[in-house]
Amino acid sequence: MDLHLQNKIILISGGAKGIGSAIVRACAQEGAIPVIADKAAAQMQSALQQAGNPRAEFIPTELTNPQACKSAIDFTLQKFNRLDALVNNDGINDGIGLATGSPEKFVASLERNLLHIYNLTHYALPALKNSRGAIVNISSKTAVTGQGNTSGYVAAKAAILGLTREWAVELLPDGIRVNAVLPAEVLTPLYESWLSKFPDANQARARIESKIPLGHRMTTAEEIAATVVFLLSEKSSHTTGQHLFVDGGYVHLDRSLS
């Protein structure tokens, strides 16, 4: 299917690895030009190679700094003179809990997982209005299920769902569509690192997969990316303000029946 993303300029935060990297590859496969904003400068060459588009760009930046968010947008506009879409993907499940955290750590978690989403979108808005572009926010199933011991991350991911609806309303007159994608269990390098902390990582993975109704397997990063590029494309031209769960039925289906 041609999603008509050829030569579209798409800024992807946290695009150097994991789900973000899969989104970068999917965009490039559709002929788009990915611009990767990520602090993981060590992964720059790998990220650009995986992008598969010689015009792709990497912006090494710490997005917790509001000025860095502005600079990322400014760089993109100076380089390409336009911005067609924004994917707010950057974030980390940092384990800042209610009892184990602190007010200072909680605020820092919001800076890592939420505030840059507002900042990037704010600075990108004039360009997105010009292109009547699209925004996709990456949230998490924890926003609706909770997880325990990760108050900062969950607060951020739940806020992203609220902002998705709020921005979809605010940007209706500009023709800018805003949607959110909620992954659940996705086997990224970060997820594998988390599994490695269990006494038996394979047993822990099997236990988790047994609870995923569709196929008893984890979602792939590529499946998340495929949904993202669809939402960025004109094929979803009448879809806005939606929360899409790409999780094999993990959140909403009765797991006892699978």
Enumerate the active-site residues. Answer: 153
218: which DSSP letter? Answer: P
% helix, strand, coil for the chain, step of 5: 50, 15, 35
Which residues contact residue 76 at a Cβ distance below 8 angstroms, ignoring those fewer than 6 apart? 9, 11, 35, 57, 59, 83, 127
Length of the chain: 258
Q: How far is the C-alpha of 71 from the C-alpha of 166, rounded, in Å? A: 25
Of the candidates 219, 209, 223, which has an alpha carbon nearest to the alpha carbon of residue 255? 209
SS3 143: helix
Q: How far is the C-alpha of 69 from the C-alpha of 61, rounded, in Å? A: 8
Distance of alpha carbon 72 from the chain centroid: 17
Distance of alpha carbon 33 from the chain centroid: 17
Q: How far is the C-alpha of 246 from the C-alpha of 19, rounded, in Å? A: 12
The answer to whether 174 touches 151, Cβ cutoff 8 Å, is no
